[in-house]
Amino acid sequence: MASQYHDVYAHWKDKPFEFWGEAAKAVDWIKAPQTVFDPNAGVYGRWFPDGTLNTCYNAIDRHVNNGRAEQAALIYDSPVTGIKRTYTYAELLAEVNAVAAVLKDFGVGKGDRVLAYMPMIPEAVIGVLACARIGAIHSVVFGGFAAKELATRINDSEPKVILTASCGIEPNRVVKYKPLLDEAISLAAVKPEKVLLLQRPQAVADMIPGRDFNWADLVVAAMAERRTVAPVEMKATDPLYILYTSGTTGIPKGVVRDNGGHAVAMMWTMKNLYGIEPGEVFWAASDVGWVVGHSYIIYAQLLYGATTVVYEGKPIGTPDAGAFWRMIEEYNIAALFTAPTAFRAVRKEDPNAEHLKRYNVKKSLRTLFLAGERADPDTVAWAEQILGVPVIDHWWQTETGWAIAGNPIGLGALPVKHGSPTVAMPGYDVQIVDEACHPVPAGKMGSIVVKLPLPPGNLPTLWQQDERMKESYLTDFPGFYKTADAGFIDEEGYLYIMGRTDDIINVAGHRLSTGGMEEVLASHPDVAECAVIGVKDELKGEQPCGFIVLKSGVSRSPMDIEQEIVKLVRDKIGPVAAFKIAITVNRLPKTRSGKILRGTMKKIADHDPWTMPATIDDPAIMDEIMAALENKGV
Ligand code: COA
Ligand code: AMP
């Protein structure tokens, strides 16, 4: 079948408001929007400003009412605990109603913030859907972040209540959440009134009387009483959630997602981009703490009447590199979505895909989707070869909430070009520009920008920071959204994403700020100066590497200090930073105006070709950097 993509994209470009007005019909509105887009509202305009709806109602109730009550809504599979459970839409509704009732008893209402610090368990999804039901704004924090990062997010979002569990389970250890949460609350200037905690047998948490409440006790009681809570009418433009993501400093950006545009965009993608039908199983092997988890573990499948999967495990080691294949066979998964790093991990462990022979994935799997980092052609080719299904790279960001570019399976796939996430999705006018915001010719690298307005589902602003929203994204290229990615578009309109233009690095599909890490390194009492760069890593794509210059007069062993630095980053940012390499040097290479030459240091560490920058203060320092890297085996 010839792809309808070009016609659909042209129609969107010609009549964008008609296009999104049509897409909006997939939502059960309380008041259907009369205006599709108001260019004068908000920072760059607002979608569906006079529409009202409830996202939770759209994700659950309407399916229960329309014949899907007994269909699987959520599959939980936890190889780390041995638990498996499937929730029908009716069961999910009962659970969500119960948590919503408990939150209401806690005094949580429309517009209040609720922070969720949860492992990959169904209660994470249930908890945030309960927030959506009562109009509370949820903010999920990834479990791999440390107390300080959690405290920053508590301070910024000012949650009334925190939802948590006693622990998360990593293959090599039990991660006790409660001590981290207690420390975060003591560090934070803003104190939540209550904590609702799910006790897990792997690490039972101590409770603070009057503040901490046992999830099971309260929710089971609410379930026993069959309590229900009516979904609250929300404006399309009311925030549904805040999700923090790395900015160029240690203070993360609170990306806001609104209710209406989000629901419209999520449903549009399920059919047109992912080619999924209601009732099918679509598994995003990510974490609820990331944007992929928000969009494609919590919301899109449910809004669309499909089945979602909460997997508490890893691609390898739980128990082996056949984990993905087992899941696909066991649950008839139609499409799998994961990060390239997960496939690199599987390939490293099982290069000939021996584990795949034990499972029949062909009976259900139609497509593999990759995102979160650049999909290297080698990994894509390997995945295509072992699975025999299309492998689709697509490119997006926490800010956008859904793919900016992809290969729209539902509209008819375009030919795949390895190394490219294919083409701009309807809604996105993607352009490549130079520093003066002039378009560059096909094939030439430049900054990737998107013409305003951004489509529904994208961030309308940063939480309580309209000015930061403007400065971060809308000022450098007037009239455009700055993606902070660099790349090019080829003669056929295929987009290539080559890297970031800021200090963000991508470690195992996780977005991290080197600036944030530098703040931690600089806080060590013996460190005078530092620089953190991302260096190429076969498995994780990139890994952070920190250079430190010690204060004069420090006589302690550099090796001890380097170990302390590694521990400091783990304690302050969290294990997810995967910061393992600290290198002591005598000096850092700088320009004559004092700017650290991180770009050149990265090229050297990556063994890429490099030239001596003309502006370097002292070329001899580059030899010292090379020797230091060699010493550490980088
Ligand atoms: N809670 C607590 N700690 C966590 C955690 C969580 N939710 N998630 C990860 N960590 C820890 C890990 O245990 C690890 O700790 P360690 O240093 O003690 O080993 C550290 O954070 C780094 O984790 P990660 O970078 O994920 O490496 P890994 O070696 O555990 O796993 C992969 C490697 C490739 C298997 C894994 O990164 C993966 O599956 N990635 C998929 C990426 C993804 O889902 N991206 C989301 C966007 S699609
Ligand atoms: P996050 O906000 O955590 O989803 O990270 C977004 C960033 O990850 C993007 O700005 C890109 O730098 C990178 N990224 C995500 N998907 C891709 C992809 N398919 N190809 C290349 N880079 C990607």
Amino acid at 382: W
CB count, 10 Å around CB of 529? 17
**Nearest Cα residue to atom 4 of ligand 1:** 144
Reduced to 3 states, what is the DSSP secondary structure of residue 522? helix
Mean pLDDT to the nearest integer, 448-468: 98
How far, in Å, is the centroid of ligand 2 from the Cα of 463? 21
Mean pLDDT to the nearest integer, 180-184: 98
Site to probe by mutation for ligand 1, drawn from 282, 341, 344, 505 as the one with most ligand atoms within 8 Å of Cβ, is 341
CB 520 within 8 A of CB 511: no
How far, in Å, is the centroid of ligand 1 from the Cα of 354? 24
How far, in Å, is the centroid of ligand 2 from the Cα of 381? 20
> Hey, what's the torsion of the CAs at 473, 476, 481, 482, to 10 degrees?
-80
CB 237 within 8 A of CB 42: yes
Phi and psi at 375, nearest 5°, equal -90, 105
> 70-74: which pairs have CB atoms within 8 A and are 24 or more residues apart?
71/279, 71/305, 71/307, 72/281, 72/307, 73/302, 73/307, 73/308, 74/122, 74/125, 74/302, 74/307, 74/308, 74/309, 74/310
Q: From the CB of 569, is ligand 1 less than 6 Å away?
A: no
Residue 368 lies in a domain: no
Q: Which atom of ligand 2 is nearest to the CA of 393?
A: 19
Among 232, 254, 282, the domain boundary falls at 232
> Which distant-in-sequence residues (6+ apart) come within 8 Å of 239 by Cβ?
137, 256, 257, 258, 259, 463
pLDDT tens sequence across 574-615: 999 999 999 999 999 999 999 999 999 999 999 999 999 999
At 285, the pLDDT band (50, 70, 90 cuts) reads very high
Q: Report the b/e string of 144-178 with b at 16+ CB within 10 A.
A: bbbbbbbbbbbebbbbbbbbbbbbbbbeeeebebb
Residue 385 lies in a domain: no
Mean pLDDT to the nearest integer, 365-384: 96
Q: From the CB of 314, is ligand 1 less than 6 Å away?
A: yes
Q: From the CB of 370, is ligand 1 less than 6 Å away?
A: no
Residue 346: the pLDDT is: 98
- Give the closest residue to 394 by CA, choosing from 410, 120, 386: 410
Tell me the average pLDDT of the chain: 97
Q: How far out from the chain centre does Cα 556 lie?
A: 40
Amino acid at 383: A
Among 232, 258, 279, the domain boundary falls at 232
Angle of helix 16-23 relative to helix 259-272, nearest 10 degrees? Answer: 90
CA separation, residue 634 to residues 108, 467, 511, 582, 609 (Å): 51, 40, 22, 11, 16
Residue bearing tokens 């971060």: 472
CB 522 within 8 A of CB 530: yes
Residue 468 lies in a domain: no
Residue 51: the pLDDT is: 98
Write out the E strands in 525-628: 527-537, 541-550, 581-584
Question: With 80 as the cut, is the pLDDT of residue 180 above it?
Answer: yes
CB 337 within 8 A of CB 283: yes
Q: From the CB of 541, is ligand 1 less than 6 Å away?
A: no
What are the helix (H) ranges across 554-619?
558-572, 598-605
CA separation, residue 307 to residues 240, 422, 545 (Å): 21, 27, 40
Residue 269, H or E segment: helix 259-272
**Nearest Cα residue to atom 11 of ligand 2:** 373
**Nearest Cα residue to atom 9 of ligand 2:** 397
How far, in Å, is the centroid of ligand 2 from the Cα of 402? 11
How far, in Å, is the centroid of ligand 1 from the Cα of 315? 10
Our count of domains for the chain comes to 2
CB count, 10 Å around CB of 331? 19
Residue 251: the pLDDT is: 81
**Nearest Cα residue to atom 44 of ligand 1:** 286
| Structure token pair of residue 360 | 């029949």
At 250, the pLDDT band (50, 70, 90 cuts) reads low
Residue 244: the pLDDT is: 97
Q: From the CB of 506, is ligand 2 less than 6 Å away?
A: yes
Residue 543 lies in a domain: yes
**Nearest Cα residue to atom 45 of ligand 1:** 509
Q: From the CB of 375, is ligand 2 less than 6 Å away?
A: yes
Q: From the CB of 51, is ligand 1 less than 6 Å away?
A: no
How far, in Å, is the centroid of ligand 2 from the Cα of 219? 37
Residue 435 lies in a domain: no
The parent domain of residue 545 ranges over 508-631
The reported pTM is: 0.96
Q: From the CB of 342, is ligand 1 less than 6 Å away?
A: yes
Q: What span, in angstroms and rounded, lies between the C-alpha atoms of 480 and 501?
A: 16
Residue 37 lies in a domain: no
Site to probe by mutation for ligand 1, drawn from 510, 538, 571, 573 as the one with most ligand atoms within 8 Å of Cβ, is 510
Question: With 80 as the cut, is the pLDDT of residue 191 above it?
Answer: yes
Q: From the CB of 240, is ligand 1 less than 6 Å away?
A: no
How far, in Å, is the centroid of ligand 2 from the Cα of 368? 17
> Hey, what's the torsion of the CAs at 37, 41, 42, 46, to 10 degrees?
-10
**Nearest Cα residue to atom 14 of ligand 2:** 373
- Give the closest residue to 275 by CA, choosing from 418, 414, 459: 414
Q: What span, in angstroms and rounded, lies between the C-alpha atoms of 535 and 602?
A: 6
Residue 30: the pLDDT is: 98
pLDDT tens sequence across 460-519: 999 999 999 999 999 999 999 999 999 999 999 999 999 999 999 999 999 999 999 999
CATH number reported for the structural domain that contains residue 572 in this entry: 3.30.300.30
Percent of the chain with pLDDT over 90: 98
How far, in Å, is the centroid of ligand 2 from the Cα of 46? 25
How far, in Å, is the centroid of ligand 1 from the Cα of 295? 19
Least confident of 92-101, 242-251, 453-462, 464-473: 242-251
Q: Does the CA dihedral 336-457-51-100 come out positive or negative?
A: positive
What are the helix (H) ranges across 436-587?
466-469, 514-522, 558-572
How far, in Å, is the centroid of ligand 1 from the Cα of 340? 13
DSSP string, 198-246: E-BTTBPPP--TTTEEEHHHHHHHHHHTT---PPPPEETTSEEEEEEE-
Residue 82 lies in a domain: no
**Nearest Cα residue to atom 6 of ligand 2:** 397
Reduced to 3 states, what is the DSSP secondary structure of residue 225? coil
pLDDT tens sequence across 129-155: 999 999 999 999 999 999 999 999 999
How far, in Å, is the centroid of ligand 2 from the Cα of 339? 10
Q: Which atom of ligand 2 is nearest to the CA of 395?
A: 19
How far, in Å, is the centroid of ligand 2 from the Cα of 372? 4
Among 232, 248, 266, the domain boundary falls at 232
Question: With 70 as the cut, is the pLDDT of residue 623 above it?
Answer: yes
Q: Report the b/e string of 193-214 with b at 16+ CB within 10 A.
A: ebbbbbbbeebebeeeeeebbe
Write out the E strands in 71-110: 72-78, 83-88
Residue 249: the pLDDT is: 67
CATH number reported for the structural domain that contains residue 129 in this entry: 3.40.50.980
> Which distant-in-sequence residues (6+ apart) come within 8 Å of 85 by Cβ?
75, 76, 122
CB 561 within 8 A of CB 524: yes
Q: What span, in angstroms and rounded, lies between the C-alpha atoms of 224 and 17?
A: 46
What are the helix (H) ranges across 284-425?
291-293, 300-304, 323-331, 340-349, 377-387
Residue bearing tokens 């010292």: 624
